[in-house]
Amino acid sequence: MSARVRRATNLRERCGGGRVRSSVQRLGGTVMLAVVAATLATPASLHKEPWMNKSLSAPRRADLLLRAMTTSDKLALVHGVRRKEHPFTGYAGYVPANRRLGIPALRLADGRAGVGNGARKVTLLPAPLAAAASWDTSLMRDYGRVLGEEEWKKGTNVFLGPTVDVVRVPEWGRAFETYGEDPYLNAQMAGAEIQGVQSQGPIADANMYLTMNQETGRFQADSVVDERTLEEIYLPPFRAAVEQGHVGTVMCAYVQTNGSYSCQNPHLLDGLLRKALGFRGWVLSDWGATHSTVASAKAGLDQEMPDGRYYGAALEKAIQDGRVSEGLLNAHVRRILVTMFRHGLFDKPQHGNWNAVATSRKHAMFSREVAEQGTVLLKNEGHLLPLAASGSIAVIGADGGTEPVAEGGGSSYVIPPYVVSPLEGIRQRVGQKARVTYADGSKMTEAANVARAASVAVVFVGAPESEGRDRPNLELPGRQDELISTVAAANPNTIVVLNTGGAVLMPWIDRVRAVVEAWYPGQEDGNAIAAILFGDVNPSGKLPLTFPRTESEVPTATAQQWPGVQGVSIYSEKLEVGYRWYDARHVQPLFPFGYGLSYTTFRLSHLQVNPRSLSAASELSPTSPPVEVSVKVTNTGHRAGAEVVQAYVTEPAATGEPPRQLAAFAKVFLKAGETEPVQLTLRRRAFSYYSVAARRWVCSPGDFRVEVGVSSRELPLASEITLR
């Protein structure tokens, strides 16, 4: 098996061998099954209708059905209903079935790391940011498959995820839902997850479109951002969702972009999404993000959620008055129908329901695998890690025992079947071989005494994040920084494990010997971190976002940028988002983008770039062969492990592009002493920039530098390509 495709589970080294919603209304089993049966039932006569002919194309079937629909039928499809209007169980959104025409109900459910909206008997996966930290698109595709399978078993046919927005503000309360700060990394992960979700039946929903980069004032906030930045930073993940993931729906966001709300912004919906990206699915609104009837309909919003405040009676009247044409309504309905036909909702039987058991032992073990592969080793002074399962170990902090932070809040919240605390995981791992003591950290003296009496102290700290609010700053909340310093003073062998949804400051970094970022690790939290701490799994995660040294050393440090002044957020950093800002301003971060340590060592060598000279007019046309980069990777240590090879491109200064932008990456798993070639493909966009004057992506002649390494700041290999 090629080392490029080997999964981490085959290389473990074993020791010795939208929205914050109200509580869910529940129905009795009999009533619920009746609702599902009514939803799924299709009269036998409908099988003879022309639009039920599976041999026809999705657009043709939609056109045939559209001709049979009345205006009332059409209006019923372009908005959701409230529970008081039509009882339904659990789902965040619901569009009733049209049994006369055989149109199935749409059941929309939340949950970026599992089925949300109060569902039970489901798996809590690690946060998407944790999965992205694996830098493994095959793992992310499987992540989507697990999500899609469980949503489908619960009766969901529209999954309200993933969140593909780029992390612009480090304090953003929904950073944990995303894939990080880089457009290319986000794009690759988004495409992979969407493919996985949709392979299991549900239609995925890329959200939140566009410039949804903060929670503070999100219902009115206006993002003032230039066109080049939109194209180069915030649009690429949605482009990948469309082109690679073939996503069925896109959710327009709460925020405004350049003075116009997302769900009534013709430039965003019609100009960029449909014309520039070629999106063929339907656009639905975030819950309560619709602000108008006529403006939204003309801008390209197809479906209002969760109700019909603007797309019910108001839209019907607008059609009667001639302010909205029947043809425009037909266009909205047709996009919904074509997508439903294309994804098989008319043809695939869905017998799942909200009470079904969706989780499994296999999914639980996959949750653990994601947590293990996404964990990032940030510091390991004197090779303190991995630990030996002997001696005495002090576990300190509420996050390690009584209150593990395993997930984020808001519409992402999942009710887990269980959560293994780090204390439980460590005790189970060491058994009787080591003495494990615990202090919850509420009393500094007790924590110090417990730490002092142990040979090693592991401090677990967390920073909760949730939809609806940004973090006030990048500090660990409460007295957790003080707790770490107190323990470090009592025990020189102190390890810090972070359970956070994004970057945090570390004023104690020089006083501890090891730091591990575990993100929000899901239900297998304790088992996964024990596997990392004791070396059963060699950490291979890489940071999907930058960790700054101070609060002021971030790209969005001014109030005008975040949270904004008088409801307006100025994107004055432009292209310098995340690590681009640190590189352009020559600011040293605490830990750079793409960074992560291992228990083994790797060497990169034999860089080759082909071709070395290109013609902008021909060889970089959209149909031309890409640039191929090859490098050899050797595991020079004594343990099996994985490395992420990263390629960055620096364009000529005349382009005005930031230095060193991620253009390709690949994760390779190697045994001790093994060498494998890795090939990276650099696409045309890596050598282009968006010209506002030309209104398209263009290539500038000059020398392009290609650097290859293991983080944005560790790039030992370099070559140049000349663009004639």
Let me know: does 648 contact 663? Beta carbons within 8 Å: yes
286 is known as an active-site residue = yes
Q: For residue 654, count other CB atoms closer than 10 A to its CB.
A: 10
- Report the distance separating Cα 644 and Cα 604, nearest Å: 11
DSSP string, 547-616: B-SSTTSSTT-STTTTT-BTTEEE-TTTT--THHHHHHTT---SB-TT--B-SS-EEEEEEEEE-SEE-T
Report how far residue 684's alpha carbon sits from residue 613's, in angstroms, rounded to the nearest whole number.
14
Cβ contacts of residue 391 below 8 Å, gap of 6+?
434, 435, 454, 455, 456
Identify whether 305 is preceded by a cis peptide bond (ω within 30 of 0). no
**Helix (H), strand (E), coil (C) string for 339-350:** HHHHCCCCCCCC
| Whether 262 contacts 229, CB under 8 Å | no
Report in angstroms the alpha-carbon separations of 385 from 467, 524, 538, 636, 640.
Answer: 35, 21, 10, 18, 15
547 CB neighbour count, 10 Å cutoff: 25
Measured distance CA(214)–CA(217) in Å, rounded: 8
Quote the CA–CA distance of 644 and 60 in Å, as a whole number. Answer: 45
Q: Are the C-beta atoms of 54 and 347 separated by less than 8 Å?
A: yes
Asked whether the CA dihedral 681, 686, 688, 691 is positive or negative, the reply is: positive
Please, are residues 610 and 719 in contact by the beta-carbon 8 Å criterion? no
Report how far Cα 142 is from the mean position of its chain's Cα atoms.
Answer: 14
Residue of 445, 515, 426, 438 whose CA lies nearest to 483:
445
Catalytic, out of 286, 307, 440, 583: 286
Contact assessment for residue 445 and residue 386, using Cβ atoms and an 8 Å cutoff: no
Q: Are 184 and 132 in contact (CB under 8 A)?
A: no
Measure the CA–CA gap between 646 and 407, rounded to whole angstroms: 29
The gap from C-alpha 444 to its chain's centroid, in whole angstroms, comes to 37
Active site members: 286
